[in-house]
Structure 1
Amino acid sequence: MPLDPYLAGRVRGIPTDPSWNADRSDPDNAPIYAEFFTDPAPYELPVSVDIRDDVVFGPHGPVPVRIYRAVDAIGLVPALLWNHGGGFAGGDLDMNESHVASAELAARSGALVVSVGYRLATDGVRYPVPLDDVEAAWLWLVASAAGLGVDSRRIAIGGGSAGANLAAATVVRLRNNASPLPTMMLLAYPALHFPLPALEDDVQAVMATLPQVLRASAAAVTAMFANYAGRISDLPAEVTPGHADLRKFPATRILISEYDDFRPSGELFAEQLAEVGVPVETRLSTGMLHGHLNRTPALPEVSRSLDYFAAAFAPTVNSAPSSHE
């Protein structure tokens, strides 16, 4: 289908001139981005979720986490360690992809959700520091399961974009170290390969009409991985999990944005998991751009995407619209 009609209307407000200074910190651009990120209706966090901040400690010091628990949860509940995106160099616990997504997933699934404020690849910070932080949060969640009222047999890991990379990379590390593995992965529009696989022609035709600021050009992807890893050659599997040995990975759900330069990475990863016998399902979020969980459930397709992940915690999970058996 074409780009979601509501998003298409918002996209028209973004300059298409390649020379436009798209810096989001530029005050002159604030109205443009505010208009683009305005959703169809006001949003309020679910009142059925209790939210509190905490800190865990890893090899680089304290790591902030935010814990979301459904107030009517009874008995031991499943849990999800969630990691926001932002190209490894941006994002925080307050962004929609972290705060709104975590609150909604807790409310919709009954799972306890722990969002991780890992260190960003800025000011000289590089791999493996962000990954070390996520691993520290994972090991803390596993060790604290009883005290948090969590069923230790049902702890998942996930994230969006670069956060999905960190989730998958954590599994690579845990598997290699014989550490406790998640029972499930939930990956939203993941960035798992470098270089990225190519888009299909029909998707590329739509992507070519979008303003450059909404694209992940080859140069931008190269810069993202170079900034994170400090190089673009001889990258370890913890940086590009799509090039790892994926055997013994947990069952995985992958959410794919239809119009997204990272779409082929998620689709290829699903094929790779299926090839080695890992149960994997995918859902194509129709009409959506990369990072659509940074919007709110006021946009219907965002709500459906959240339901897709929340349903993974149900005792019996129905088949997704698109799956790799």
Structure 2
Amino acid sequence: MPLDPQLRAMLERAATVPAIPLSQLPPAVVRYGFLASILAWLGEDYEPLPLAEVREHTIDGAVPVRIYRPDATTPSLPVVAFAHAGGWVLGDLETHDEVCRHLSHALPAVVVAVDYRRAPEHPYPAAIDDYWAAVCWLAGHAAELGGDAGRLAVIGDSAGGNLAAAAALRAREAGGPRIAVQALAYPTVDATLDCGAQEGGSYLTCGEGYGLTLSMMRWFVDSYLPDPADRTASDASPLFADLSGLPPAIVATAEYDPLRTEGERYAHRLARAGVAVTHLELDGLVHGFLYQTRISHAADRAREAFIGAVREALGSRLGDLTEARA
């Protein structure tokens, strides 16, 4: 399918600005640029979606989170631990505030966005350790937040999808907490970067010109995983892990995303391991559609499809999510 015209226009505008390699800039500057881009895409007329409650909290004095509650009266809502995108280097509670507000309202659910430590100041395993701490805390405190620990979802996009997948693996190994669904939007699951670089892979077909690039991914991985020996660990590259016994999964991939091949491969491997998996293959889109919805109608439809799949999973018994399209 051709690239969505609205996203093509976005990429063409971006191409008119001279690009400086990320490795030549301080991380703080790149982080500011990422936030500025998302705010620009939201537009000057953007107004945050009002919810019953949005508040800050710090878990055990160490991990900052933002808690979103859509309804002050409805008890036992599903609960979501959300991990943001940004290559483990960029992103924060502000870059994904709109996404989390919408998730909370649309599911509906109590959403806990995790402000995990970022590389290169805090390399692996700092990000997954922080996210895992938040998942465990949420499971233990769901009731006091008005949530149902029996409907706990781990959700993330890109590097956040990596953390959500890794948390599902940790929960299996630790014997809990019980996760109802892992929902991964355009996840990075191969920190070696090898999968998408093979013949016909998306690093070769989409590694330049579509926003996220192969060179950017190399910088992200070098920042988060400076020791190459760590890059095949299961919580760095879930693609290489034993995937049996994991909770039902939703994996969304975008046609023009450098991470498409590894996401597709992960959905295949989950299905072969006997995991119930819904694979949303989203045509005409690029990396980042969860936060591109105000500049692209196609991205907006894709986000609603992703949320709809999560809603269906959380509204069903665990054994009912049996669709496997891989």
TM over 0.5: same fold?
Answer: yes
Structure 1 partner of 2:279: 282
| Alignment counterpart, residue 193 of structure 2, candidates 178, 190, 195 | 195
Cα drift, residue 177 of structure 1: 1.9
Checking the alignment, whether the CA contact within 8 Å between 2:292 and 2:300 is kept in structure 1 is no
Structure 1 partner of 2:107: 109
Scaled by the length of structure 1, the TM-score of the pair is: 0.84
Structure 2 partner of 1:207: 206
Cα drift, residue 210 of structure 1: 1.6
Segments of 5+ residues of structure 1 without an aligned counterpart are none
CA distances 1:262-312 after superposition (whole Å, capped 9, x unpaired): 011111000000001100011123222112223234632232233223322
Checking the alignment, whether the CA contact within 8 Å between 1:105 and 1:306 is kept in structure 2 is no
Aligned ranges 1:5-24 → 2 under 5 Å: 5-15=5-15, 20-21=19-20
Aligned ranges 1:310-325 → 2 under 5 Å: 310-311=307-308, 312-314=310-312, 315=315, 323-324=324-325
Structure 2 partner of 1:228: 224
Structure 1 partner of 2:291: 294
Checking the alignment, whether the CA contact within 8 Å between 2:81 and 2:154 is kept in structure 1 is yes
State how far apart, in whole Å, the 2-side matches of 1:196 and 1:114 are. 33
Checking the alignment, whether the CA contact within 8 Å between 1:13 and 1:35 is kept in structure 2 is no
Segments of 5+ residues of structure 2 without an aligned counterpart are none
CA distances 1:30-86 after superposition (whole Å, capped 9, x unpaired): 7xx7599536894332224531111112xxx51110111112651211111000011
Q: Which amino acid aligns with 1:255?
A: A
CA distances 1:82-124 after superposition (whole Å, capped 9, x unpaired): 00011111110000xx21111101111111111000000122x
Checking the alignment, whether the CA contact within 8 Å between 1:82 and 1:158 is kept in structure 2 is yes
* Partner SS for 1:254: strand
State how far apart, in whole Å, the 2-side matches of 1:267 and 1:6 are. 25
Aligned ranges 1:232-311 → 2 under 5 Å: 232-233=228-229, 235-297=232-294, 299-311=296-308
Aligned ranges 1:85-124 → 2 under 5 Å: 85-95=85-95, 98-123=96-121
Checking the alignment, whether the CA contact within 8 Å between 2:203 and 2:259 is kept in structure 1 is no
| Alignment counterpart, residue 132 of structure 1, candidates 129, 136, 140 | 129
State how far apart, in whole Å, the 2-side matches of 1:39 and 1:258 are. 23
Checking the alignment, whether the CA contact within 8 Å between 1:43 and 1:296 is kept in structure 2 is no
Structure 2 partner of 1:160: 157
Structure 1 partner of 2:144: 147
Structure with more strand by fraction: 1
CA distances 1:234-278 after superposition (whole Å, capped 9, x unpaired): 531111111111111110111112111001111100000000110
Structure with more helix by fraction: 2
Structure 1 partner of 2:182: 185
Scaled by the length of structure 2, the TM-score of the pair is: 0.84
What is the number of equivalent residue pairs in this alignment? 310
| Alignment counterpart, residue 50 of structure 2, candidates 5, 25, 47 | 47
Checking the alignment, whether the CA contact within 8 Å between 1:198 and 1:264 is kept in structure 2 is yes
Would the alpha carbon gap of residues 34 and 64 (structure 1) be closer, same or farther in structure 2, given more than 3 Å must change? closer
Checking the alignment, whether the CA contact within 8 Å between 2:41 and 2:295 is kept in structure 1 is no
* Partner SS for 1:259: coil
Checking the alignment, whether the CA contact within 8 Å between 2:271 and 2:324 is kept in structure 1 is no
Checking the alignment, whether the CA contact within 8 Å between 1:86 and 1:162 is kept in structure 2 is yes
Q: Which one is further off, 6-15 or 85-94? A: 6-15
* Partner SS for 1:288: coil
Identity of aligned residues (%): 29
* Partner SS for 2:88: coil
Cα drift, residue 197 of structure 1: 1.9
Cα drift, residue 174 of structure 1: 2.0
